[in-house]
Chain A
Amino acid sequence: EAQVTQNPRYLITVTGKKLTVTCSQNMNHEYMSWYRQDPGLGLRQIYYSMNVEVTDKGDVPEGYKVSRKEKRNFPLILESPSPNQTSLYFCASSPRTGTGDINYGYTFGSGTRLTVV
Protein backbone atom coordinates (compact mmCIF):
# COMPACT_ATOMS: atom_id res chain seq x y z
CA GLU A 1 0.00 0.00 0.00
CA ALA A 2 1.31 3.45 -0.97
CA GLN A 3 1.77 5.43 2.20
CA VAL A 4 3.71 7.82 4.35
CA THR A 5 4.60 6.28 7.71
CA GLN A 6 5.42 8.40 10.74
CA ASN A 7 6.68 7.15 14.06
CA PRO A 8 5.86 7.46 16.81
CA ARG A 9 2.16 8.42 16.72
CA TYR A 10 2.30 9.85 20.23
CA LEU A 11 5.27 11.09 22.22
CA ILE A 12 5.58 12.78 25.60
CA THR A 13 9.05 14.04 26.44
CA VAL A 14 10.83 16.47 28.73
CA THR A 15 12.38 19.80 27.87
CA GLY A 16 15.86 19.48 26.42
CA LYS A 17 15.82 15.76 25.64
CA LYS A 18 16.75 15.24 22.00
CA LEU A 19 14.21 13.36 19.92
CA THR A 20 13.68 12.22 16.35
CA VAL A 21 10.39 11.70 14.56
CA THR A 22 10.81 9.39 11.61
CA CYS A 23 9.05 9.66 8.26
CA SER A 24 9.25 7.10 5.50
CA GLN A 25 7.45 6.87 2.15
CA ASN A 26 7.28 3.91 -0.23
CA MET A 27 6.22 5.77 -3.38
CA ASN A 28 9.64 6.88 -4.62
CA HIS A 29 8.58 10.52 -4.21
CA GLU A 30 11.21 13.20 -4.68
CA TYR A 31 9.51 15.85 -2.56
CA MET A 32 9.01 15.56 1.20
CA SER A 33 7.96 18.09 3.79
CA TRP A 34 7.23 18.54 7.50
CA TYR A 35 4.34 20.57 8.89
CA ARG A 36 3.11 21.39 12.35
CA GLN A 37 -0.56 21.89 13.06
CA ASP A 38 -1.70 24.13 15.89
CA PRO A 39 -5.26 25.26 16.74
CA GLY A 40 -6.19 28.41 14.87
CA LEU A 41 -2.92 28.45 12.92
CA GLY A 42 -3.51 25.73 10.37
CA LEU A 43 -0.60 23.87 8.83
CA ARG A 44 2.75 25.63 8.95
CA GLN A 45 5.72 24.29 7.07
CA ILE A 46 8.87 23.51 9.03
CA TYR A 47 11.27 22.14 6.41
CA TYR A 48 11.04 20.60 2.99
CA SER A 49 13.23 18.60 0.64
CA MET A 50 13.08 18.65 -3.14
CA ASN A 51 15.31 15.55 -3.41
CA VAL A 52 18.10 13.61 -1.71
CA GLU A 53 20.58 15.91 0.03
CA VAL A 54 18.46 18.97 -0.85
CA THR A 55 16.64 20.56 2.08
CA ASP A 56 15.32 24.05 2.76
CA LYS A 57 13.61 25.99 5.51
CA GLY A 58 9.89 26.51 5.61
CA ASP A 59 8.04 29.15 7.59
CA VAL A 60 8.83 27.93 11.12
CA PRO A 61 12.23 26.14 11.08
CA GLU A 62 13.61 27.39 14.41
CA GLY A 63 14.40 24.56 16.82
CA TYR A 64 14.21 21.83 14.19
CA LYS A 65 16.64 19.97 11.95
CA VAL A 66 16.11 17.57 9.08
CA SER A 67 18.20 15.36 6.85
CA ARG A 68 17.55 13.61 3.55
CA LYS A 69 20.23 10.97 3.07
CA GLU A 70 17.89 8.55 1.33
CA LYS A 71 14.94 9.20 -0.94
CA ARG A 72 12.44 7.37 1.24
CA ASN A 73 13.32 8.85 4.65
CA PHE A 74 13.02 12.38 6.00
CA PRO A 75 13.47 12.46 9.80
CA LEU A 76 12.60 15.50 11.89
CA ILE A 77 15.06 16.17 14.73
CA LEU A 78 14.43 18.30 17.79
CA GLU A 79 17.85 18.80 19.39
CA SER A 80 16.53 20.50 22.53
CA PRO A 81 12.73 20.38 22.62
CA SER A 82 10.83 23.14 24.38
CA PRO A 83 7.17 23.32 25.47
CA ASN A 84 6.32 25.64 22.54
CA GLN A 85 7.10 22.72 20.24
CA THR A 86 4.15 20.81 21.64
CA SER A 87 2.09 20.23 18.51
CA LEU A 88 0.71 17.79 15.96
CA TYR A 89 3.30 17.06 13.28
CA PHE A 90 2.69 15.82 9.76
CA CYS A 91 5.07 14.52 7.14
CA ALA A 92 4.02 14.72 3.49
CA SER A 93 5.45 13.54 0.20
CA SER A 94 4.72 13.97 -3.45
CA PRO A 95 6.26 13.28 -6.85
CA ARG A 96 7.74 16.03 -8.97
CA THR A 97 5.86 16.90 -12.14
CA GLY A 98 7.26 16.34 -15.62
CA THR A 99 8.58 19.90 -15.58
CA GLY A 100 10.26 19.38 -12.20
CA ASP A 101 7.70 21.36 -10.20
CA ILE A 102 6.02 20.13 -7.03
CA ASN A 103 2.86 18.05 -7.42
CA TYR A 104 0.62 19.55 -4.73
CA GLY A 105 -1.47 16.43 -4.32
CA TYR A 106 0.47 15.55 -1.22
CA THR A 107 0.25 12.23 0.56
CA PHE A 108 0.29 12.95 4.29
CA GLY A 109 1.23 10.65 7.12
CA SER A 110 -1.18 10.06 10.01
CA GLY A 111 0.55 12.52 12.29
CA THR A 112 2.69 12.54 15.44
CA ARG A 113 1.29 14.21 18.52
CA LEU A 114 4.21 15.57 20.52
CA THR A 115 3.97 16.91 24.06
CA VAL A 116 6.99 18.57 25.64
CA VAL A 117 6.74 19.09 29.41
Chain B
Amino acid sequence: GENVEQHPSTLSVQEGDSAVIKCTYSDSASNYFPWYKQELGKGPQLIIDIRSNVGEKKDQRIAVTLNKTAKHFSLHITETQPEDSAVYFCAATVSGSARQLTFGSGTQLTVLP
Protein backbone atom coordinates (compact mmCIF):
# COMPACT_ATOMS: atom_id res chain seq x y z
CA GLY B 1 0.00 0.00 0.00
CA GLU B 2 0.87 3.68 -0.05
CA ASN B 3 3.33 5.14 2.46
CA VAL B 4 3.65 8.89 2.97
CA GLU B 5 6.56 10.40 4.89
CA GLN B 6 6.43 14.02 6.05
CA HIS B 7 9.22 16.32 7.25
CA PRO B 8 9.90 18.16 9.43
CA SER B 9 7.73 17.16 12.37
CA THR B 10 8.07 20.64 13.88
CA LEU B 11 8.91 23.94 12.22
CA SER B 12 9.29 27.39 13.74
CA VAL B 13 9.59 30.50 11.59
CA GLN B 14 9.55 34.22 12.20
CA GLU B 15 6.46 36.09 11.10
CA GLY B 16 6.90 37.19 7.50
CA ASP B 17 9.33 34.40 6.62
CA SER B 18 8.51 31.45 4.38
CA ALA B 19 7.81 27.89 5.51
CA VAL B 20 8.27 24.70 3.52
CA ILE B 21 6.96 21.25 4.42
CA LYS B 22 7.99 18.23 2.38
CA CYS B 23 6.37 14.85 1.75
CA THR B 24 7.42 11.76 -0.14
CA TYR B 25 5.17 8.94 -1.29
CA SER B 26 5.85 5.38 -2.31
CA ASP B 27 3.11 4.38 -4.76
CA SER B 28 3.88 5.64 -8.27
CA ALA B 29 0.18 5.23 -9.13
CA SER B 30 -0.83 8.00 -6.70
CA ASN B 31 -2.17 11.00 -8.58
CA TYR B 32 -3.90 13.23 -6.04
CA PHE B 33 -2.13 15.07 -3.22
CA PRO B 34 -4.13 17.21 -0.77
CA TRP B 35 -2.89 19.26 2.15
CA TYR B 36 -4.90 19.70 5.33
CA LYS B 37 -4.52 22.29 8.10
CA GLN B 38 -5.54 21.43 11.65
CA GLU B 39 -5.97 24.31 14.08
CA LEU B 40 -5.91 23.70 17.80
CA GLY B 41 -9.05 21.92 19.00
CA LYS B 42 -10.46 21.47 15.51
CA GLY B 43 -10.58 18.85 12.82
CA PRO B 44 -8.33 19.04 9.72
CA GLN B 45 -9.47 21.23 6.85
CA LEU B 46 -8.46 20.95 3.19
CA ILE B 47 -6.42 24.01 2.16
CA ILE B 48 -4.97 23.09 -1.22
CA ASP B 49 -4.51 20.07 -3.46
CA ILE B 50 -2.65 19.12 -6.59
CA ARG B 51 -3.12 16.47 -9.23
CA SER B 52 -0.35 14.67 -11.02
CA ASN B 53 -0.94 16.41 -14.33
CA VAL B 54 0.40 19.71 -12.96
CA GLY B 55 3.70 20.59 -11.31
CA GLU B 56 2.64 23.57 -9.21
CA LYS B 57 -0.50 25.19 -7.87
CA LYS B 58 -0.87 28.47 -6.00
CA ASP B 59 -3.59 30.01 -3.88
CA GLN B 60 -2.62 33.41 -2.49
CA ARG B 61 0.17 32.79 0.04
CA ILE B 62 0.21 29.01 -0.24
CA ALA B 63 1.55 26.87 -3.05
CA VAL B 64 2.16 23.20 -3.61
CA THR B 65 4.76 21.69 -5.93
CA LEU B 66 4.92 18.12 -7.19
CA ASN B 67 7.85 16.14 -8.58
CA LYS B 68 6.43 12.89 -9.90
CA THR B 69 9.78 11.49 -10.92
CA ALA B 70 11.16 11.85 -7.41
CA LYS B 71 7.77 11.08 -5.82
CA HIS B 72 7.76 14.08 -3.56
CA PHE B 73 5.57 17.12 -3.07
CA SER B 74 5.90 20.21 -0.92
CA LEU B 75 3.77 22.91 0.70
CA HIS B 76 5.12 26.45 0.59
CA ILE B 77 3.70 29.23 2.74
CA THR B 78 5.01 32.74 2.08
CA GLU B 79 4.76 35.82 4.29
CA THR B 80 3.74 33.68 7.25
CA GLN B 81 1.34 35.09 9.82
CA PRO B 82 0.53 33.96 13.38
CA GLU B 83 -2.76 32.47 12.16
CA ASP B 84 -0.75 30.07 10.00
CA SER B 85 0.34 28.31 13.21
CA ALA B 86 -1.26 24.86 13.05
CA VAL B 87 -0.56 21.21 12.28
CA TYR B 88 -0.30 20.51 8.55
CA PHE B 89 -0.89 17.08 7.01
CA CYS B 90 -0.05 15.94 3.52
CA ALA B 91 -1.82 12.99 1.95
CA ALA B 92 -1.79 10.90 -1.22
CA THR B 93 -4.14 8.61 -3.07
CA VAL B 94 -5.16 7.28 -6.45
CA SER B 95 -8.12 9.45 -7.39
CA GLY B 96 -10.92 7.76 -9.29
CA SER B 97 -10.38 4.37 -7.69
CA ALA B 98 -12.24 4.86 -4.39
CA ARG B 99 -8.84 4.37 -2.71
CA GLN B 100 -8.56 5.86 0.74
CA LEU B 101 -6.30 8.78 1.61
CA THR B 102 -2.95 7.95 3.20
CA PHE B 103 -1.82 10.78 5.48
CA GLY B 104 1.64 11.88 6.49
CA SER B 105 2.57 12.15 10.17
CA GLY B 106 1.98 15.91 10.37
CA THR B 107 4.06 19.06 10.85
CA GLN B 108 3.52 21.46 13.74
CA LEU B 109 4.17 24.92 12.31
CA THR B 110 4.71 27.76 14.76
CA VAL B 111 4.93 31.32 13.48
CA LEU B 112 6.74 33.50 15.99
CA PRO B 113 5.65 37.14 16.23
Contact = CB atoms under 8 A, between A and B. Distances in A.
Contacts of B89: 42-43
Given A42-B103, A50-B98, A106 B41 contact: no
Interface residues of A, number: 27
Interface string A74-117: 00000000000000001010000001111011111111000000
Interface string A30-41: 000101000011
Interface residues of B, number: 25
Given A40-B105, A41-B105, A104-B93, A48 B100 contact: yes
A110 B46 contact: no
Contact of B32 (A59, A104, A108): A104
Interface in B26-84: 32, 34, 41-46, 49
Given A48-B100, A58-B100, A108 B95 contact: no
B78 to A, nearest CB: 23
12 contacts: A35-B103, A42-B6, A45-B100, A101-B96, A101-B98, A102-B100, A104-B34, A105-B46, A106-B44, A108-B44, A110-B41, A111-B42
Interface of B: 1, 6, 9, 32, 34, 41-46, 49, 89, 91, 93, 95-98, 100-101, 103-106
6 closest residue pairs by CB, A with B? A108-B43, A42-B105, A43-B103, A42-B103, A105-B46, A42-B106
